């Protein structure tokens, strides 16, 4: 059924007002309310959560039906065994703390109570700008419990980045670390909505301290009923093609990650999952929800220092980590360490990669050790939609098959399904598959929200392009703007980058198409490994290597070597390549060259 989005006065995404509130609670809501009352007043152990029942109720809930009550903290976290390990925190000094569900629940109640007493209401927003600190997870649980929307922010955001986010979302509070407080203070006067600042450090006149909040009595707050229509998490897109958009997910979104835990992580109650990425990424929210739903455990590694591959390798060696969730950029740093082959990972069963493709050589570095590499595809707007087959052969640029209950289709320009082998837009078929976990829309961007769906509402359009193989697996080609049409062929940049990545000198590579005299030329920008320097001979060596790995027409005609400082200008915080910025760079260069040529042509000739 087609539905429409609107923007409320609070600039939130909601459906037509007739669907906002039911006239009376559903049976599902009454059951949840009674369970909450019983467990909050009884000293007996709460019954374990019936996650499958909750999941399937939400999964089959019609989009135009009255909202259902749901809250992953109240319905799942609160019902875990109090003495069970929830989080292990192992910092870079060797200190280790095992955090039980009892402590996680207690801290979440203290945070929820603080914001309740401060007058925060359901749907208000708070930014979380912490690294891998236990307070990030305490805060996440407390804010979800209280119905306050969480805005994960990378600790690498500048004051200007923060200013944009706070004013875009009318954020009322921020929780951060002492070393990041100055960035907030620098723009506070430009952010009228920001009324509360909380630090993990020492409190002051203008800053509340989490340490002081944790000294308060541990008493449950008045129960807040959150529903499928209550904002829960606001995730920013990576911004690879322009300014990042902000995606609104409601409370049912977190339950969609049962498939993440079941099909991608393949987690069990004995699993210990390490999330080796920035807490500003949506991946951290994904994996946290999946671990909670699967009754597994998290390992976090607090540090204020620059990322050290040696530290991560030692952690994987010394801790009983069974699942590593990270990006290929991090894995590349591990395998290029001089002593990588000296490390053994006795407990590591699986590496989960989402958000970026990994080249075959990188995958082989781990599968050769008996470690399964699971590749998934999803966006900030969706849950994981595909995953590779366990134990299957990794084909370059393949992102796997559809994850039940979702159905991925490949569409042509008229938004009709394409047969296997033809390149088109990757889409989420909301008729053949389910929609649980799909965004409610982009905040403050109703037109972009509408354009993300087909006119009949059947498809969510990802903006990514690929093709299906006969077995249903999908080959990823890239964003629409990233596709290169050269010599009559449609070339995905990842195909070329994957081929070049196995060359001994290539550390990172980005491939774009640039128009030169009306002809699209393939150009590669390359960051070299230490010990190599750019030269015509090295360019030719890389080109010959690419021709051996893939079709000759995909080989770049031009190669430019970048320094690390130059490369960082064209990479997002999460390590994704900003190809649009590289194309803009080339367009500017070509325009400047054309201007100089015209000036030379029209300049007076000497007599």
Share of the chain above pLDDT 90, in %: 63
Instruction: Specify if 46 maps to a domain.
Output: yes
Strand partners, 241: none
- pLDDT at 4 > cutoff 50: no
Residues 97, 174 within the same domain: yes
- Give 20 or 602, the one with higher predicted confidence: 602
Instruction: Specify if 606 maps to a domain.
Output: no
User: pTM of the full predicted structure?
Assistant: 0.82
Residues 440, 537 within the same domain: no
Residues 92, 240 within the same domain: yes
Residues 371, 339 within the same domain: yes
pLDDT classification of 150: cutoffs 50, 70, 90: very high
Mean pLDDT of the chain: 87
Residues 453, 592 within the same domain: no
Residues 241, 287 within the same domain: yes
Instruction: Specify if 607 maps to a domain.
Output: no
- pLDDT at 592 > cutoff 60: yes
Residue 570 sits in a domain whose CATH number is 3.30.300.30
Q: Round to whole Å and give the CA distance between 30 and 377.
A: 36
Residues 263, 223 within the same domain: yes
- pLDDT at 132 > cutoff 80: yes
Three-class SS of 480-515:
HHHCEEECCEEECHHHHHHHHCCCCCEEEEEEEEEE
Residue 383 sits in a domain whose CATH number is 3.40.50.12780
Residues 167, 213 within the same domain: yes
Residues 375, 491 within the same domain: no
pLDDT in tens, 86-102: 999 999 888 999 999 99
- pLDDT at 240 > cutoff 90: no
Q: Looking at 468, 503, 533, which one is the last position of a domain?
A: 468
> Given this model, what pLDDT does residue 21 score?
31
> Given this model, what pLDDT does residue 23 score?
32
> Given this model, what pLDDT does residue 360 score?
82
Report, as an integer, the average pLDDT of 321-347: 92
State the distance between the two ends of the chain, measured CA to CA, in whole angstroms.
77
- pLDDT at 518 > cutoff 80: no
Q: Looking at 419, 445, 468, which one is the last position of a domain?
A: 468
Residues 250, 135 within the same domain: yes
Share of the chain above pLDDT 70, in %: 87
Structural contact between residues 177 and 302, judged by C-beta atoms closer than 8 angstroms:
no
| Domain tally, the chain | 2
Q: Residue 372: which domain range?
A: 6-468
Lowest mean pLDDT among 113-127, 339-353, 377-391: 377-391
- pLDDT at 36 > cutoff 80: no
> Given this model, what pLDDT does residue 24 score?
35
The one-character DSSP state at 393 is: P
Report, as an integer, the average pLDDT of 118-132: 94
pLDDT in tens, 319-329: 999 999 998 88
Instruction: Specify if 541 maps to a domain.
Output: yes
Go through 123-134 and write b for each residue having 16 or more CB atoms within 10 A of its CB, e for each that does not. Answer: bbbbbbbbbbbb
> Given this model, what pLDDT does residue 486 score?
73
Instruction: Specify if 476 maps to a domain.
Output: no
Instruction: Specify if 80 maps to a domain.
Output: yes
Residues 444, 592 within the same domain: no
pLDDT classification of 478: cutoffs 50, 70, 90: confident
- pLDDT at 38 > cutoff 60: no
């Amino acid at each position: 059924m087609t539905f429409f989005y609107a923007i409320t006065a609070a600039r939130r995404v909601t459906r037509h007002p007739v669907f906002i509130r039911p006239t009376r609670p559903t049976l599902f809501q009454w059951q949840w309310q009674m369970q909450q009352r019983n467990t909050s007043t009884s000293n007996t152990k709460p019954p374990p959560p019936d996650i499958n029942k909750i999941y399937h109720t939400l999964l089959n809930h019609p989009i135009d039906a009255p909202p259902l009550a749901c809250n992953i903290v109240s319905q799942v976290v609160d019902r875990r065994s109090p003495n069970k390990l929830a989080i292990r925190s192992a910092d870079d000094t060797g200190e280790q703390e095992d955090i039980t569900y009892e402590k996680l629940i207690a801290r979440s109640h203290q945070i929820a109570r603080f914001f309740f007493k401060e007058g925060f209401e359901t749907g208000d927003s708070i930014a979380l700008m912490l690294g891998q600190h236990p307070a990030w997870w305490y805060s996440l649980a407390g804010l979800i419990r209280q119905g306050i929307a969480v805005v994960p922010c990378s600790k690498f955001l500048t004051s200007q980045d923060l200013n944009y986010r706070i004013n875009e979302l009318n954020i009322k509070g921020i929780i951060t670390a002492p070393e990041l407080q100055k960035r907030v203070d620098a723009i506070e006067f430009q952010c009228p909505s920001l009324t509360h600042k909380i630090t993990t450090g020492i409190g002051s006149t203008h800053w509340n301290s989490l340490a002081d909040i944790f000294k308060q009595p541990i008493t449950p707050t008045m129960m807040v009923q959150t529903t499928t229509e209550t904002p829960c998490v606001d995730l920013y897109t990576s911004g690879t093609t322009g300014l990042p958009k902000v995606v609104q997910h409601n409370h049912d979104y977190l339950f969609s990650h049962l498939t993440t835990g079941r099909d991608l992580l393949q987690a069990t109650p004995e699993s210990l999952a390490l999330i080796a990425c920035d807490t500003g990424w949506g991946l951290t929210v994904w994996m946290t929800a999946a671990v909670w739903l699967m009754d597994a455990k998290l390992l976090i590694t607090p540090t204020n220092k620059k990322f050290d591959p040696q530290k991560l390798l030692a952690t994987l060696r010394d801790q009983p980590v069974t699942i590593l969730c990270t990006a290929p950029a991090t894995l590349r740093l591990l395998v290029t360490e001089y002593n990588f082959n000296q490390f053994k990972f006795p407990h590591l069963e699986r590496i989960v990669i989402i958000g970026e493709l990994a080249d075959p050589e990188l995958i082989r570095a781990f599968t050769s050790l008996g470690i399964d590499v699971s590749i998934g595809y999803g966006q900030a707007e969706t849950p994981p939609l595909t995953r590779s087959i366990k134990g299957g052969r990794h084909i370059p640029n393949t992102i796997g098959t559809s994850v039940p209950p979702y159905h991925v289709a490949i569409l042509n320009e008229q938004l009709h399904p394409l047969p296997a082998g033809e390149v088109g837009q990757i889409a989420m078929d909301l008729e053949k598959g389910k929609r649980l976990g799909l965004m409610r829309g982009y905040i403050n961007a109703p037109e972009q929200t509408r354009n993300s769906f087909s006119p009949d509402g059947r498809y969510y359009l990802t903006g990514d392009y690929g093709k299906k193989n006969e077995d249903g697996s999908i080959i990823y080609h890239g964003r629409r703007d990233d596709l290169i049409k050269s010599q009559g062929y449609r070339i995905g940049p990842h195909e070329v980058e994957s081929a070049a990545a196995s060359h001994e000198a290539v550390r990172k590579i980005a491939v774009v198409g640039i128009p030169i005299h009306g002809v699209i030329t393939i150009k590669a920008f390359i960051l070299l490994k230490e010990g190599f320097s750019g030269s015509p001979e090295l360019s030719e060596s890389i080109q010959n290597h690419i021709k051996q790995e893939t079709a000759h027409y995909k080989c770049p005609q031009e190669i430019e070597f970048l320094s690390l400082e130059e490369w960082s200008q064209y990479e997002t915080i999460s390590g994704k390549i900003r190809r649009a910025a590289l194309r803009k760079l080339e367009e500017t260069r070509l325009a400047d060259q054309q201007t100089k040529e015209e000036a030379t042509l029209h300049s007076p000739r000497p007599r």
